[in-house]
Structure 1
Amino acid sequence: MRNKITYILCLFLLLNSFSSEAQSDKQKALEAKRVKYQKELQQLNALLFTNKKEEKSVVSLIEDLNYKVNVRRNLIKVTNDQANLLTREINANQNEISSLRDQLTTLKKQYSEMLVKSYKSKSEQSRVMFLLSSNDFKQAYKRLQYIKQYANYQKEQGDLIKAKTQKLQELNTDLLRQKEDKDKLVAENRIAKIELEKEVKEQEKLMASIRKDQSAYASKIKKKQQEIDAIDKEIDRLIKEAIAASNKKAGKSSTSKGFALTPEEKLTGRNFASNKGKLPWPVERGVVKVRYGTQQSPIDPTVKINSNGVRIATEKNARVRAVFNGEVLAVAGQKYSNPTVLVQHGNYITAYRNLSKVYVKKGDKIVTNQAIGEVFTNNEGETMLGFGIFKDSKPQNPAGWIYKM
């Protein structure tokens, strides 16, 4: 009986611990997401919506608003998820409280009956008589063990009541906190939805003005994409030239698609690869406005935007920082574009595009977080860094490499 009670007590505490930890982990994960989206909105407001002096183009305004609306929707969704999880936790706690109260009532009744029974047979005389009336020593020993077990059983029943009472008190405290947290989340979401409605109305108004001459705007987007494609081609040419030169120097075939590396360069490449997901941002403050890959234009869904890297909106005069130790492979400049700096890290290349100033030159050895230039700001007050990562000449998704991108 003693082992059974101990088992029940341990199981009760263990199950409650696992259940609360699982719920807590879910809440922590959701809270981390909510904080992330809140910070992203703050950055967006600071970087994209504070320049009232410069008149942005309608296209830029819609791109900015689209981004903001998506982040706001994500924030509302994750806040809803948190509130719903809290509702489930509150309901579960309320059910558990009711169950615990019923269990406590039964336990206390049983414990009370046991104490009364124990009191009636409490005197030393009755215990001694119980032992002396044994037929032999073996039976006396068993009766003595029974008396001890019964005493332990009483103690463990009392401990189980204490544990359940404490758990009940904790659940009640937790319930009050959960209800307060849920009320805060609901209030926050109410404000977020009002802001979202305003932003969507502004978005619709801008889209209505574009629809009057959508073909002209679509033409501008295509022209911008052509300029980006031209820069991509130039970067590809420079990287392939460098690959061919490295293979020629090593006495290998110039048609090889990968760099011929020295032992030192191989080590740099391995170190770069081992830091995947932990590399620093190329600017101190920024939000990714255009992500890697092919995506629809927010202005005209029939127009595709191809991105070999990411485009990061940042602050005016923002300094560009190298994300890892390396050597400047090239400083490229097109006739109709701003300079691009390519930095080699073994068989990896990082590209920093749309610079207004360049602090480095080809062949310079650089270290992580070293300033290599400044981001260009256009006439509309938009400061956008193009950033890419290549393995040999193959583009990589920077979101998988840069910390929390």
Structure 2
Amino acid sequence: MKGNNNILLLVLLICCGISFSQSSRQQQLEEQRQQLRQEIEQMKKLRTDTKLKERSLLDEVEAINAQISTRENLIRITNQQANLLTREINVNFKKLDAFRKELQHLKEDYAKMIAKSYKSNSRQSRIMFLLSSSNFMQAYKRLQYMKQYNKHRKEQADNIVKQTEELKILNTDLANQKKSKELLVVQNRKEQEKLLSEKKQQQELMATIRKKSGVYSKQIKKKERQASAIDKAIEKLIREAIAKANKKAGKKVTNKGSATTFALTAEAKLVADNFTANKGKLPWPVGTGRVTKKFGPQPHPTLPNIKINSSGVELETRAGERARAIFEGEVIAIQKLRGAGRLVQIRHGNFITTYYNIENITVKEGDQVRTKQEIGEVRVNPATGRAIMKFLIYQNAKRLNPQHWIYRM
């Protein structure tokens, strides 16, 4: 019996360890799923808003592409939840089987004890059992044996009651897990249907665009020229900031706009070293959002035969979301670019981060900011209803890929 108890304990410890880790993962997945559902609802609201009548077809395709991508993520997360529940149910079935076997052993042992006790009582009374002892020590030992036997019998009875209750709880947990899984399966089926509907809309929009691909190609190229002009303006600001900092540090520069490397003081070098040490661990420049355009050259998401280039990353977030500094530093520029929104630039040693398309700015030039300090609000484009911020990282005058620096971007 002791061996069986040890085996049961080992099984339960393993199962409980697995169950705890799976429950923790289940909670994480549920949080992700709820976040994705909120994002989809926000996207739907933006797409159906009556103010968005001026939205171009390209913007509409980008919006539905984003919604499809988010819904596919939602379906993937829900599938993971359902699979995890299946594993949890299997673990609980093993626990249930172990409990049942142990309960059966307890009942069998208890039945033997009762039978033995009955036979003992029927042959002779307890007093006669004690009086028949050959000496005092034997009588004492028999008395202790009777006490231990009665105690053990009571413990067995208590264990049976306890195991029976645990079986009931486990059966209830299993029933709840099965209901949760069934609900997830139903929800996933509905999301699949919505996804098919969205993909149908996407195909219809793409068919319209393909008919006028020449017109839309010109629109895309025009946007690329505008983006290139903004990049040049940003880089001009960076060169001017380097020249200004170097002049202050006593380093000679030939011309205000030609400096490309910061002359670092000991303090600035420490900030730069700390920034470098946090590569891949820096926080997102918005509390919630997703990457809609990656860094570097890439095919256009709607017309892939057209190549576009991005000097940073574009992050779509919800209306009213606040932009925040990714690291401690000094605000060196707040500018309204011609034909574009406002930007904030923050220096971190010889690194500069740029947050573009910001309004309601809450910092000013010369301010020292801390990590995750809010600097303004991401502007919502009134024509598209989308809140998109462009985020760039430079080391001196060299562009860097933000996705290599920001945690899980």
Identify the TM-score tier after normalising by the shorter chain: 0.7 to 0.9
TM-aligned CA distance change 1:149 to 1:347, over 3 Å: farther
3-state secondary structure, aligned to 2:55: coil
Q: What's the secondary structure of 1:354's corresponding residue?
A: strand
Residue 305 of structure 2 is matched in structure 1 by: 302
CA contact (8 A) 1:48 1:313 kept: no
Give the whole-Å Cα distance in 2 for the aligned partners of 1:95 and 1:154. 28
Alignment-derived partner of residue 250 in structure 1: 249
Alpha carbons 1:358, 1:373 under 8 Å: kept:
yes
Distance in 2 separating the partners of 1:107 and 1:53: 71
Name the counterpart of 2:23: 24
Partner residue, 2:195: 196
Percentage identity across aligned positions?
38
Superposition pairs for residues 322-341 of structure 1, below 5 Å? Answer: 326-332=329-335, 335-341=338-344
Unpaired segments of 5 or more residues in structure 2?
Answer: 254-258
Q: Counterpart in 2 of 1:125?
A: 127
- In structure 1, the residue matched to 2:256 is none
Change (3 A) 1:360 1:54: farther
RMSD: 4.2
Q: Which runs of 5+ in 1 are unaligned?
A: none
Q: 2:352 aligns with which of 349, 366, 370?
A: 349
CA shift, 1:157, in A, is: 3.8
Aligned to 2:193, the other structure's residue is in SS state helix
**Contact 2:279 2:405 survives alignment (8 Å):** no
SS at match of 1:301: coil
Are residues 1:172 and 2:171 paired? yes
1:395 aligns with 2:400: yes
Aligned partners of 1:51 and 1:381 also within 8 Å: no
Contact 1:294 1:304 survives alignment (8 Å): yes
Q: Secondary structure at the match of 2:53?
A: coil
- Secondary structure of 2:391's counterpart equals strand
Query: What is the deviation of 1:196?
Result: 1.2
- Which one-letter code corresponds to 1:395 in the other structure? L
Label 1:164 to 1:376 Cα distance change in 2 as closer, same or farther (>3 A): closer
- For 1:339 and 1:242, locate their aligned partners in 2 and report how far apart those are by CA, in whole Å: 17
Q: How does 1:213-232 map to 2 (within 5 A)?
A: 213-232=212-231
Supply the distance in 2 between the matched residues of 1:20 and 1:357 (Cα, whole angstroms).
Answer: 48
**Where in structure 2 are the equivalents of 1:47-196 lying within 5 Å?**
47-94=46-93, 96-98=95-97, 100-121=99-120, 123-125=125-127, 127-128=129-130, 132-133=133-134, 150=149, 153-196=152-195
Residues 1:312 and 2:312 are matched in the alignment: no
Shift of the 152–294 alpha-carbon distance from structure 1 to 2, 3 Å rule, reads farther
Q: Contact 2:380–2:388 (CA<8 Å) still a contact in 1?
A: yes
Deviation for aligned residue 1:200: 0.7
Q: CA deviation at 1:74?
A: 1.1
Query: Which is worse superposed, 22-31 or 91-100?
Result: 91-100
Structure 1 window deviating more from structure 2 (189-198 vs 323-332): it is: 323-332
Letter in 2 for 1:97: L
Letter in structure 2 aligned against 1:299? T
CA drift of 1:188 comes to 1.8
| TM-score (norm: length of structure 2) | 0.77
Distance 1:97 1:249, change over 3 A: same
Q: Which residue of 2 aligns with 1:239?
A: 238
Aligned-residue offset at 1:356: 6.9
CA distance in 1, matches of 2:263, 2:158: 70
Task: Give the secondary-structure state (helix, strand or coil) at the position aligned to 2:186.
Answer: helix
Structure 1 stretch displaced more, 389-398 or 340-349: 389-398
Which deviates more, 289-298 or 198-207? 289-298
Q: CA deviation at 1:391?
A: 4.6
| Offset, 1:70 | 0.8
Q: Whole-Å Cα distance in 2 between the matches of residues 201 and 40 of structure 1?
A: 21
Q: Report deviation, 1:206.
A: 0.4
Q: CA deviation at 1:11?
A: 3.8
Match of 1:377 among 361, 374, 381: 381
Equivalent residues, number? 399
Deviations 1:131-164 (A, max 9, x none): x358x96x88987776666556545544543443
